[in-house]
Amino acid sequence: MSNMRSLSFDAIIIGGGGAGLRAALELAKSGKQTAVLSKVFPTRSHTVSAQGGITCAIASADPNDDWRWHMYDTVKGGDYIADQDASEYMCSEGPKAVFELEHMGLPFSRFDNGRIYQRPFGGQSKDFGKGGQAARTCAAADRTGHALLHTLYQNNLKNNTTFLNEWYAVDLVKNANGDVVGCIAMDIETGEVVHVKSKATVMATGGAGRIFASTTNALINTGDGIGMALRAGFPMQDMEMWQFHPTGIYGAGTLVTEGCRGEGGYLVNKDGERFMERYAPNAKDLAGRDVVARSMVMEILEGRGCGEKGDHVFLKLDHLGEEVLGKRLPGIVELSKTFAHADPAKEPIPVVPTCHYMMGGIPTNVHGQAIMQDADGNDQIVNGLFACGEAACVSVHGANRLGGNSLLDLVVFGRAAGMFIEGALNEGIEYLEASESDVESAMKRITRWNESEGGETVPDLKRELQDIMQTSFGVFREEKNMVEGVKRLEELRARIDNAYLPDKSSTFNTARVEALELDNLMEVAEATAIAALERKESRGAHSRYDYPDRDDVNWLKHSLYFPADKRLGKRDVNFAPKTVEMFEPKVRTY
Amino acid sequence: MSKLQVSLYRYNPETDSAPFMQEFQIDTQGRDLMVLDVLHLAKEQDNGLAYRRSCREGVCGSDGMNMNGKNGLACITPLSEVVKGNKLTLRPLPGLPVIRDLVVDMGLFYKQYERIQPYLQNDEPAPAIERLQSPEERDKLDGLYECILCACCSTACPSFWWNPDKFVGPAGLLQAYRFLADSRDGATSERLAELEDPFSVFRCRGIMNCVAVCPKGLNPTRAIGKIREMLLADAT
Amino acid sequence: MVTNITNLGRSGLSDWLLQRVSAVILALYSLFIVGFLLFNPGLDYAAWSGLFAQTWMRIFSLLAFISLAAHAWVGLWTVTTDYLKPTGIRIGTQLIIILAIFVFLVWGITVLWGA
């Protein structure tokens, strides 16, 4: 242990996606000793897959657009458990953050007047839902995430950010007071394990869609930050809230942007009927994602699905014409040809609701500071720990995220965390140094894998985990099935704790990384399962046959999962925005 | 259904004195899998097999490799496109040092990317909103900004093989032109000055391997030609 | 910018231009010579030497020789920097190339303007 190398930074940012790079940029500009630690080269992070755009009231498509309308949509979209102070912050600060991206060079598509192109997305309205469909999603064709991630990486290069690329964060290091003072990390290329000391540790590790068998998420989305925080004993918020994107390509799971429907595409069942007209007479195909996904599953369950097995529906785009497809949706044309063998200019794309986004995560305030609860149930800041992006639950997405809000979340709260940490570092941060035994306890997990001498192997266990989640915690949920799922997960955890890593080599050992990832998938899956079982209502993406209605009396709350005793508690939703009147919960229709 | 014969380049510096090809029999169950799926199946047979992967949909650029002699992305290359005579040979991207198996050291490739200052430079104070850009000006960036840095092009380029330390390579030059072509960028002459030596741009011999292999269908040779035109216009 | 280089112009653009301009001159010269041979089927020494006795032909030929020298140098310099990685061998080879080009050029001039 004593011969382990250590590195010291003012701030370490774990994760090189949009949120991490935006936070890093802020800190690098301030001259703080900052490093981004990423298990993949930063431009391989999952932000790169975001397609449709970044939703923000920049008043380009509509000069009268108002961030308050965007905030209304966000709160309503989140089925009223999005924190209204955080939503207010995101929607009002958003334009600044988007213009900054443009100034950094992001190649947004343009309107004829030279302003940023905006397209309609689901759940968008003007005038607090009374003025019809808005077009508020700023886009770079259908490659907005790619353009955004590359722009942020490029600007980090410009500002000389330190990168620890292809390093894997294993576990958090806590001092005797319970403050987070760094992490244990492994250089994947050499296998060297290093103690990274830091005054601020930022979790920008993204989502964990790989807990499901069918997901739009990248193979790297294994919830590493969530796993690390749970093992360190910190609570997770709203983990039952998983978004199923209506249009994952049937069979492959790859995403087809909501922008397709924004540009005029629509869903049809086997009879060729545009069925969303029945479920959401006003917004139709541009209703909230949870609403559209549920409607699709209803169609399939009622025997109106397409294909031999009747287990998917079609997304029709051919009426848009080759020019619009080529100009606005070129990436979708490519993806559809590659993964669905369908040219969208000629035939519809087979799609099915697919796990897409984790609304829950590490609870934070708008500065990215992680939050836990004291013994009396009051919020308490976790010293040294921050989170932003999908790993965090600020919460601006509540029970269902609106399309285009995740990229905005990344840049607004990545930036906010960076600014806050800069200020805190200027004021001076001193935490007790971690003792040797503190470091040792963070090493426990990797040591166990390294010393494993036999047992089940990682791929089989991972498949089983994904199968449990898919079967018991999908679009529609119910008690009996979930109880069974929780039980199976409990058994699986015991097996994973005794699993075997056959390859113990040091150089670029991807098997070791996958083993460490499996632990994190397990943590996320269990938190999800228990939270889903305990939230006895239907709200947003959490939809139960046995509790089909929203229950505002008992559940107008965040859920808070405590890993130590696997208990689900509650936390108040914020209804106190600073500059606008709060939005009262109403029945949610589109 | 006979199994697919997969020949994989293997090298682990801790145990192997030299690289070797290892044969795998992969049961595809008659499906037209992507090459990446085949690698997943091979890894289940041999846990130690190392390769990079992330998005599995052709946008992150992790899994560039040489498949039956041609560079491409494993995740969007169906077997029907590359397999000949039921045989698939997978090697790391050529010309870069191998770290392990199909994982290469991309350091030189990234260094050349960084060298062209791949970020917008504009000293004018930024307006309160976005900088305006007409759709026609924006159209000039199409075919350039989409690069995913997979290195398929640069590692297929003989000029990059011979002078990876001096020749920027097709990927870096495509990005160099992406910023030269951006109406918002103000560093055109500085950028051109950095490129006019005999190696950085001019080592391109127009072989066009880059165009042939680019998984995103981009055309670095055309971008290089445009840079040469700009250098010429600037100097005469 | 790559600065550790030793070509003549120290500029890729001038090399590139030189290579193309010299190629055009060489093409024109070759076409002219081939044309001349075709139009004079029974060519004898007198006609041949008569052609080269004219000043414009001597200038044209000198231009072609210089173009050839420049073209050869840029091309071979590129080849040596591609394929010869050990510095000593590369510089040695480049010196031999320079010497050879110089000898051929001077020889050419002597042939044109000599006796």
pLDDT above 90: percentage of residues in chain B:
97
Separation of alpha carbons B174 and B113, rounded Å: 10
CATH assignment of C12-113? 1.20.1300.10
pLDDT in tens, C16-68: 999 999 999 999 999 999 999 999 988 899 999 999 999 999 999 999 999 99
> Which two tokens mark A589?
């229709």
Token pair, residue A165, equals 């690329």
Chain B residues with CB under 8 Å of C81 CB are 162-163, 199
3-state SS assignment for residue A579? coil
User: DSSP labels for B91-142?
Assistant: EPPTTS-EEETTEE--HHHHHHHHHT--S----SPPPSSPPP--HHHHHTTT
Query: Which tokens hold the place of A134?
Result: 């808005």
Task: Please give the pLDDT value at position A3.
Answer: 77
The percentage of residues in chain A with a pLDDT greater than 90, rounded to a whole number, is 99
Angstrom CA distances, B134 to A214, A241, A278, A325, B184, stand at 41, 41, 40, 20, 11
Predicted model pTM: 0.96
Query: Is B107-235 in CATH node 3.20.20.30?
Result: no
Residue in A with minimal Cα distance to B45: A459
Whole-number average pLDDT of chain C: 90
Min Cα–Cα distance to chain B from C74, Å: 10
Shortest Cα distance, chain B CAs vs residue A332, angstroms? 11
ipTM of the complex: 0.98
Q: Where are the domains of chain B?
A: 4-104, 107-235
- Label residue C11 by pLDDT band (50, 70, 90): confident
**What local confidence, expressed as pLDDT, does residue C114 receive?**
78
Q: What angle do CA A248, A134, A107 make, to 5 degrees?
A: 70
Q: Tell whether B111 lies on the interface with A, counting CB pairs under 8 A.
A: no
| 8 A C-beta contact, residue B176 and residue B220 | no
Closest residue of chain A to B42, computed from CA coordinates: A459
Cα–Cα distance for residue pair B95/A479, rounded to 1 Å: 57
DSSP state of A216: S
Contact B184 A105 (CB under 8 A): yes
Q: Sign of dihedral through CA atoms A150, A156, A157, A159?
A: positive
Interface of A with B in 466-525 (CB under 8 A): 502-503, 505-511
Decide if A529 contacts A472 (C-beta within 8 A): yes
What's residue C113's pLDDT? Answer: 85
Residues 6+ apart with CB under 8 A from A189: A166, A507, A508, B99
Q: How far apart are CA A202 and CA A397, in angstroms?
A: 20
Scanning every residue of chain A, which has its alpha carbon at the shortest distance from the alpha carbon of B216? A334
**Chains in contact with chain A (at least 3 beta-carbon pairs closer than 8 A):** B
The pLDDT, as a whole number, for residue C4 is 52
Cβ atoms of A515 and A449 within 8 Å: the answer is yes
What fold does the segment set B4-104 form as a domain? Ubiquitin-like (UB roll) (3.10.20)
Q: Across chain A, what does the average pLDDT equal?
A: 97
- Output the pLDDT for position C75: 94
Q: How far apart are alpha carbons A405 and A387 in whole angstroms? A: 17
Nearest to B47 among A49, A218, A457 (CB): A457
Scan residues 200-229 of B and list those with Cβ closer than 8 Å to C. 200-203, 228
Residue A2 has pLDDT above 80, yes or no: no
* Reported confidence tier of residue A180, pLDDT bands at 50, 70, 90: very high
Pull the structure tokens for residue A334.
């490519």
Mean pLDDT of A277-294: 95
Within an 8 Å CB–CB cutoff, is residue B18 touching chain A? no
**d(C-alpha A198, C-alpha A13), whole Å:** 10
**Mean pLDDT of all residues in C84-104:** 96
Q: Is the dihedral of CA B44, B47, B49, B55 positive or negative?
A: positive
User: Do residue B99 and residue A508 have CB atoms under 8 angstroms apart?
Assistant: yes
Write the pLDDT tens digit of every residue in A197-233.
Answer: 999 999 999 999 999 999 999 999 999 999 999 999 9
Say how far apart CA A108 and CA C85 lie, in whole Å.
44
Q: Is C29 annotated as a binding residue?
A: no
Counted across chains B and C, CB pairs separated by less than 8 A come out at: 52
Q: pLDDT tens digit string along B176-186?
A: 999 999 999 99
C16 contacts on B by Cβ (under 8 Å): 202, 228
Task: Say whether A41 counts as a known binding-site residue.
Answer: yes
User: What whole-number distance in Å separates Cα of residue B35 and Cα of residue B75?
Assistant: 6
B194 pLDDT above the threshold of 90: yes
Is B198's CB within 8 Å of C82's CB?
no
pLDDT-derived band at C1 (thresholds 50, 70, 90) equals low
Check CB contact under 8 Å for B54 and A218.
yes
- Assess whether pLDDT exceeds 60 at residue A129: yes
Residue C10 has pLDDT above 90, yes or no: no
| Dist CA A418 CA A416 (whole Å) | 5
* % of chain B surpassing 70 pLDDT: 100
The 10 Å Cβ neighbour count of residue A50 is 25
CATH code of A243-357, in short, is 3.90.700.10
CB A74 within 8 A of CB A91: yes
Cα A323 from Cα A331, distance rounded (Å): 13
Catalytic residue (one of A22, A136, A289, A477): A289
Closest CA to A182 of A521, A431, A515: A431
Contact between A110 and B134 using a beta-carbon 8 Å cutoff? yes
- At A371-401, the pLDDT tens digits run 999 999 999 999 999 999 999 999 999 999 9
- Is residue A18 a contact partner of residue A47, using CB atoms and an 8 Å limit? yes
Q: What is the pLDDT of residue A210?
A: 98
Name the residue among B73, B86, B69, B91 with its Cα closest to residue B28: B86
Backbone angles phi, psi at A478, to 5 degrees: -155, 155
Average of per-residue pLDDT across A148-164: 97
Contact criterion met (CB < 8 Å) for A110 and B129 = no
Which pLDDT tens digit goes with each residue over B138-157? 999 999 999 999 999 999 99
Closest residue in C to B234 (Cα) is: C13
The predicted-structure confidence for A310-355, as pLDDT tens digits, reads as follows 999 999 999 999 999 999 999 999 999 999 999 999 999 999 999 9
User: Is A550 an annotated catalytic residue?
Assistant: no
Q: Is B117 on the interface with C (CB under 8 A)?
A: no
Say which CATH topology domain A436-552 has: Methane Monooxygenase Hydroxylase; Chain G, domain 1 (1.20.58)
Question: Where do the CATH 1.20.58.100 domains begin and end in chain A?
Answer: 436-552
Q: In chain C, where are the structural domains located? A: 12-113
Q: Is the pLDDT of residue C5 over 80?
A: no
Q: What is the pLDDT of residues A53-86, one digit of tens each?
A: 999 999 999 999 999 999 999 999 999 999 999 9
Tell whether A103 is within 8 A of chain B (Cβ). yes
